[in-house]
């Protein structure tokens, strides 16, 4: 795929998407072996295949959003970047390291990817379970609280002084 700035990006497909992709190729690219440089997704103007614009993708998504609203009234606003953000978050939730997610998205700076990376409640629960399983809990039996006998420091730490 060629992304923003005409940057080449390899985008792996998940196994459940491959049959749909193959069907799309059969319909829209029956001579794919002869069309190695052909646009995968395109619009036709004056009988010429041209690169599909972001605005055109947005129009498709808006049309589907309108069809879905009567069925599911709490559907979020659909836009192209939603798919990108959702995929990034799913990768992150699956445990894919942030540098790899960043590379997958074609970000030159990992900080850009951090915008997507939010720890879900389930991720926090799994992390806590993992710590407990490894015996790495912060609540260890053999540890005594440093300020247990220091009432003045306890009051200050508690905001009472």
Structure confidence by residue, pLDDT tens digits, 84-103: 888 888 898 888 999 999 98
Which long-range contacts (C-beta less than 8 Å, at least 24 apart) are formed by 113-118? Answer: 113/88, 116/85, 116/88, 116/89, 116/92, 117/88, 117/89, 117/92, 118/89
Q: At what angle do helices 98-105 and 80-93 cross, to 10 degrees?
A: 160
Give the percent of the chain with pLDDT over 90.
Answer: 25
Structure confidence by residue, pLDDT tens digits, 127-161: 888 877 877 666 555 555 666 677 888 778 777 76
pLDDT confidence of residue 125: 83
Q: How far is CA 158 from the centre of its chain?
A: 39
pLDDT confidence of residue 161: 65
CA–CA dist 82, 66 (Å, integer): 16
The pTM for the full model equals 0.63
Phi, psi torsion values for 52, nearest 5 degrees: -70, 135
Residue labelled with tokens 């997610």: 101
């Amino acid at each position: 795929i060629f992304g923003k700035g005409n940057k080449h990006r390899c985008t792996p497909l998940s196994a459940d998407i491959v049959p749909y992709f193959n069907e799309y190729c059969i319909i829209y690219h029956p001579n794919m072996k002869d069309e190695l440089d052909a646009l995968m997704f395109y619009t036709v103007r004056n009988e010429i295949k041209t690169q599909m614009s972001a605005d055109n993708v947005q129009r498709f998504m808006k049309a589907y959003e309108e069809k879905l609203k009567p069925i599911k009234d709490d559907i979020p606003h659909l836009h192209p970047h939603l798919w990108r953000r959702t995929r990034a978050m799913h990768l992150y939730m699956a445990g894919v390291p942030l540098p790899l997610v960043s590379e997958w998205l074609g970000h030159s700076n990992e900080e850009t990817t951090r915008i997507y990376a939010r720890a879900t409640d389930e991720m926090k629960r799994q992390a806590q379970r993992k710590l407990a399983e490894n015996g790495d809990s912060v609540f260890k039996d053999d540890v005594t609280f440093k300020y247990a006998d220091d009432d003045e420091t306890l009051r200050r730490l508690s905001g009472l002084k």
